[in-house]
Amino acid sequence: DSGVTQTPKHLITATGQRVTLRCSPRSGDLSVYWYQQSLDQGLQFLIQYYNGEERAKGNILERFSAQQFPDLHSELNLSSLELGDSALYFCASSVAAGANYGYTFGSGTRLTVV
Amino acid sequence: GQQVMQIPQYQHVQEGEDFTTYCNSSTTLSNIQWYKQRPGGHPVFLIQLVKSGEVKKQKRLTFQFGEAKKNSSLHITATQTTDVGTYFCAGPRGNEKLTFGTGTRLTIIP
């Protein structure tokens, strides 16, 4: 157990639907990062939050949004889902903002859009 | 923008052979991190290198950071079946987040 909790582990949904992925960071970590990993692909950065505020944005689609709540858990909302959105979505956390600290990853949510 | 490339993309080795993966950045990095992702698993932080020319060892794994801080390598001596997985390097893009390399998938032939 890495200390980063992601739910659900698996999600199967139809095209056009909306889903919410949830992440609880490791205790004491203030930064949360969301990454997308498609089949046999690398890790694509989506968005970062630090202590409730958005800090950095990657190539995140307009159909996707995220937020971090006062208790530091984060949610990634994916809407108008397309087949190409099928992927593993990882949440990671680190103790502070910035890329000078190692990330702790959760076990991911596997999204299948049918 | 900054890109982090890794070679090779795939590597198949006999158990007991050595393995090396190389990481190259288009820009100078303040630090480089390495992660391992087992099949079906999530990335796990292995190590961070900060200084130019730095070398760190973890048992059979040796990590190097280039003098120009634009490249890095991971060398595994005498591979074992437990070494199977994809190895990613990652470097900062801007100040806020890590850009992950393309990864090297290691397969061990028993």
Query: Does residue A21 carry a pLDDT above 70?
Result: yes
Q: Is the dihedral of CA B68, B69, B71, B72 positive or negative?
A: positive
Confidence of residue B31 (pLDDT cuts 50, 70, 90): very high
Predicted local distance difference test score (pLDDT) of residue B79: 97
Predicted local distance difference test score (pLDDT) of residue B93: 76
Q: Measured between beta carbons, which residues in chain A are less than 8 angstroms from residue B45? A: 102-104
Residues A18-35, mean pLDDT to the nearest whole number: 96
- Asked, as a colleague might, if the bond just before A25 is cis with ω within 30 of 0, I would say no
Query: Does residue A43 carry a pLDDT above 70?
Result: yes
CB of B58 within 8 A of CB of B25?
Answer: no
Higher model confidence: residue A33 or residue B110?
A: A33
Please report, for residues A92, B65, B91, B107, the alpha-carbon distance to residue A102 in angstroms, rounded to integers and kept in the order given.
Answer: 10, 16, 11, 25
CB of A81 within 8 A of CB of A18?
Answer: yes
Cα-Cα end-to-end distance for chain B = 41
In angstroms, rounded to a whole number, what is the distance separating the alpha carbons of residues B5 and A7? 31
Would you state the structure tokens that stand for residue B59, as one six-digit string?
Answer: 């048992």
For B40-82, the pLDDT digits (tens) are: 999 999 999 999 999 999 999 999 999 999 999 999 999 999 9
Nearest-CB residue to A102 (from B33, B88, B100): B33
β-partners of residue B109 are B14
Predicted local distance difference test score (pLDDT) of residue A19: 98
Predicted local distance difference test score (pLDDT) of residue B1: 56
Which residues of B have a CB under 8 Å from any CB of A? 30-31, 33, 35, 41-45, 48, 88, 90-103
Query: Does residue B94 carry a pLDDT above 80?
Result: no
Q: How many residues does chain B have?
A: 110
Residues A53-58, mean pLDDT to the nearest whole number: 92
Nearest-CB residue to A105 (from B42, B96, B101): B42
In angstroms, rounded to a whole number, what is the distance separating the alpha carbons of residues A80 and A67? 18
Query: Does residue B83 carry a pLDDT above 80?
Result: yes
Q: Measured between beta carbons, which residues in chain B are less than 8 angstroms from residue A99? A: 30-31, 90-98
